[in-house]
Structure 1
């Protein structure tokens, strides 16, 4: 029996294809199902069942479309109010896929109806457990996504779900969570690339702490999560439409300029230092790298026209793929090529890129503001002396709180600060992007 991992690193999630002989089962597939179909074809297997551990809050599922495309049975936890036909599954139910047996275990916490699936063969041997947003590697799924009125009860439930998994499964059972690889669905950062129940018994707070300590610390430790999460559950309950990965319509320089002047969302996907060196005034810089879709989805005005700028169509295609994963299906168009050729004769804007060492040398200036766009809890743990903290996701609404004069903007690695710098940059503003690792600031002893 083989378990193949399908990584979606931009969202910090994993999907799984389990196969034995010519039969396969898929768990928690992402929206772009072509990756799953290609893997199934390469392995020479037929997908008979598609399973969801829960109604997802951080991405639009591909489960419904995948099941319809291959003619598989679609399995969704009982109790979830969905608008499409599916097989409801609850505690103790068995998904019989011939040589692959998946036993449902109700593990509430991340959601009320969350189900984990214990993977067994026909002889009863346990090969692993698909835990979705329940037990993760060294942590658990967050319990505050359904509203404050549910959070404490779900946190207690999450504790007992983790304990049940540990008590009922063999110690060598492999753990296959959906979240925990950078996803904001993880209550705290997960650790490691693989794990077993035995590993979790010594690393997971739900298994090493008493219930009240676990609950208290989990509730106190939540960070903010992306605003687009509010849309995911609604889309997944209604049933997502078929995915469209086609390229958006091309946009010429004059039309591009008109959209910028109209205040529309025009997003430049190029490298952050290339954006700093020269960009169209009024565009927003979201480098197409690991965190792209999380932060664009977080800041984007949902439903507003969105136009992309990139160096080539491959970048547009990649961005398109990532955006449909969170339900941003409608793109107003794309402009491709050298930014100088897209300017329609207008002058490009630019700003300086610096390091923490350069910031340390400049800190004595009275006209300098240090803007820290990390989350509040990151700032509380450690921050540069005198820095103003406005988390990136609050910046658009708090732009008036950013003082005039020279602003040096930083985060933990340079990615979030690059977005912030692009938002701040405008005529009359002087912004400097600190493109550096925060550890450099700590080594320079400018934190306090």
Structure 2
């Protein structure tokens, strides 16, 4: 028996390859399916089933394309209603793969079709639980991501309580837990950086699995704070793509065309395409195409595109270094942004050599920022674009929290006359914010390089209590 977790850090997502006696299954595959095909071929195994724990919201799955290429059936848990042919398993149904068995456990709560897959080894022992978004390491799935229905998030949280108590916590403590996500995913609130654990450890340390927890306490704790971190706009659109099946990734990669400077400029003007510059923040700030938005490929690129670009069909133009081109398009496709109409041939340097207008972002060090802060007696316009939880933990006195995800709704909070000093934790999100503000006509934007990590080393006054009037 072989179990392999195929973890993709930029999405904090875990897919799984399980093999026994020349037969294999893939659980929750990403959109690019070739790695799974290559793995099966290398191992000399035949993919027998493609298992989906639920209709994913945070990424586009490759289940339909993988099924087409292997003839392996797609398996969902009870109540799933895809628009393509699939096995809709019953609760407790057992699938045989070589000498092992996989038992379907219907665990509604995160969504109503959510299911876990229990791997039973050659000796008939419960060995591992592939828990999807039902149970994470240190957390459980959010109950506010399901498609709209008559059920409230409190109803779904109640279902999740029952699923965990009746289907998951009854399993032996030595059963391994392999979730669909780890820290960084928006599908939970407080996931661990660990990507697997024993169920026994989770019963001890996961707040949602406390033995003495009442149903009411569970619902309150699981739903608490969800309003502070709303799900990204692309989530429901990804669900629909996963229900209907997405376009083959190979076709998406072919759609993006190399464009000369003149053609790139014409495309931007004629199509209303959004220009996304994927270079690193410290390079972008030194010069960029006016009105372009910096979302660096080196960070949480696709999730931030999905959070900030509200229309999944928005035409996109990319400024990207050649060796990152396929990576950028692939990452965008993972979250359903397939409409990349072109990219600047030969990158930003070709724009400079053509003598085209460029813009810059003013940036200062944390030390220089601290001096200005003192000279102003704390009266600078400081905007902290970190998450509310980060701000609550510690922040600069007098700084206003405007999370990057909420930036567009809070433009009125930025001054048109005084300098706006923007920071995040390390500089990635603040440069995104600065580029958006620049594109919206704010020319008095100053990025604090290194973010709060560097600011914390200065003697600027800080506080760790929440000042509600300074959060947006």
SS in 1 for 2:129: strand
Q: CA deviation at 1:9?
A: 1.4
Determine which of 257, 264, 281 is the counterpart of 1:256: 264
What is the rounded CA distance, in whole Å, between the counterparts of 1:288 and 1:88 in structure 2? 38
Determine which of 341, 346, 349 is the counterpart of 2:356: 346
What is the rounded CA distance, in whole Å, between the counterparts of 1:246 and 1:19 in structure 2? 30
Q: Give the corresponding residue for 1:326.
A: 335
Q: Give the corresponding residue for 1:292.
A: 301
Q: Give the corresponding residue for 1:410.
A: 423
Q: Give the corresponding residue for 1:207.
A: 209
Moved over 6 A (4+): none
SS in 2 for 1:140: coil
Q: CA deviation at 1:261?
A: 4.7
What is the rounded CA distance, in whole Å, between the counterparts of 1:387 and 1:240 in structure 2? 43
What is the rounded CA distance, in whole Å, between the counterparts of 1:351 and 1:257 in structure 2? 21
What is the rounded CA distance, in whole Å, between the counterparts of 1:309 and 1:440 in structure 2? 29
Determine which of 344, 368, 372 is the counterpart of 1:362: 372
The answer to whether the aligner puts 1:246 opposite 2:248 as a matched pair is no
Q: Give the corresponding residue for 2:106.
A: 106
SS in 2 for 1:359: helix
What is the rounded CA distance, in whole Å, between the counterparts of 2:9 and 2:304 in structure 1? 14
Moved more, 109-118 or 383-392: 383-392
What is the rounded CA distance, in whole Å, between the counterparts of 1:21 and 1:102 in structure 2? 14
Quick check: 1:141–1:180 contact (8 Å CA) kept in 2? no
Q: CA deviation at 1:210?
A: 0.9
> What's the RMSD between the two structures over aligned residues?
2.1
Q: CA deviation at 1:260?
A: 4.3
Quick check: 2:314–2:339 contact (8 Å CA) kept in 1? no
Alpha-carbon distance change, 261 to 167 in structure 1, aligned in 2, over 3 angstroms: closer
Over residues 289-322 of structure 1, what are the superposed CA-to-partner deviations in whole Å (9 max), with x where a residue is unaligned? 230000011111422210001121x211001111
Q: CA deviation at 1:15?
A: 0.3
Moved more, 208-217 or 102-111: 208-217
Alpha-carbon distance change, 434 to 259 in structure 1, aligned in 2, over 3 angstroms: farther
Q: Give the corresponding residue for 2:184.
A: 182
Quick check: 2:261–2:345 contact (8 Å CA) kept in 1? no
Quick check: 1:360–1:446 contact (8 Å CA) kept in 2? no
Q: Give the corresponding residue for 1:232.
A: 238
Number of residues of Structure 1 aligned to a counterpart in Structure 2? 447
Structure 2, unpaired ranges of 5+: 464-472
Q: CA deviation at 1:443?
A: 4.3
Structure 1, unpaired ranges of 5+: none
The TM-score, its normalising length taken from structure 2, stands at 0.89
What is the rounded CA distance, in whole Å, between the counterparts of 2:395 and 2:50 in structure 1? 46
